[in-house]
Amino acid sequence: MSEKKELTENQLIKKLRNLDYDAWNSFDSSQYPKEQQDIIHKEKNAFFVKWYKEHPDVKKTENQTQNDISTLDTQSPSAQYIAALKAQRAEYMANRDPAFIMYDSFYKALEDIHGEDFENHIRALCEFGLYKKKSEYEGSVKMFMKMAIPQLEANEDKRRKAIINGSKGGAPKGNKNALKY
């Protein structure tokens, strides 16, 4: 019998909590008994939730986040762990999917501009709206973006708040506001 299979639950958890990012990525849990694999899986997910919070510059892909959530539901981890993952999911959702609202007023402000000038205005609007890229604007593009940027930023703030609040789970138990009569 190998040394790894003889570890108690506390010894295994202590050993796992000393692993770093690279060690977790190459860790093979298949050599452990099923009961210990469940512990390993839970500790690995907890490690990565914490690691991604400590490294906000590293973005997870949607598939990585979805995999974490789907494996959590079958592993039945603690409520605190699920809450941490939901918070991470909300943060991911708030930062994903570049999109912005193109208002009719933006288009009307540009309707008398044609050709390359029109293209420059639209390019500046899209680069800021989608990627938050601010360039050195000149002339009428600068004036247009001074008008558009505050609205685009307000929309993004509203969108982020809606995503974060939506991940909190809805109305509290006993709330009578949604009752149908």
List of residues 6+ apart from 49 with CB closer than 8 A: 68, 81, 84, 85, 88
Higher pLDDT, 165 or 36: 36
Higher pLDDT, 1 or 121: 121
- Residue 165: pLDDT band (50, 70, 90) is confident
Q: What is the pLDDT of residues 50-95, one digit of tens each?
A: 777 777 666 554 445 555 544 544 444 455 666 676 777 666 666 6
- 95 touches 88 (CB < 8 A): no
Percent of the chain with pLDDT over 90: 9
Could you say which DSSP state residue 30 is in? G
Of 88, 51, 37, the residue nearest 67 (C-alpha): 88
E strand intervals along the chain: none
Pair of tokens at residue 175: 């709330």
Query: Does the predicted TM-score (pTM) go above 0.85?
Result: no
d(CA 180, CA 139): 56
Q: What is the pLDDT of residues 49-58, one digit of tens each?
A: 777 777 766 6
Q: What is the mean pLDDT of residues 143-151?
A: 92
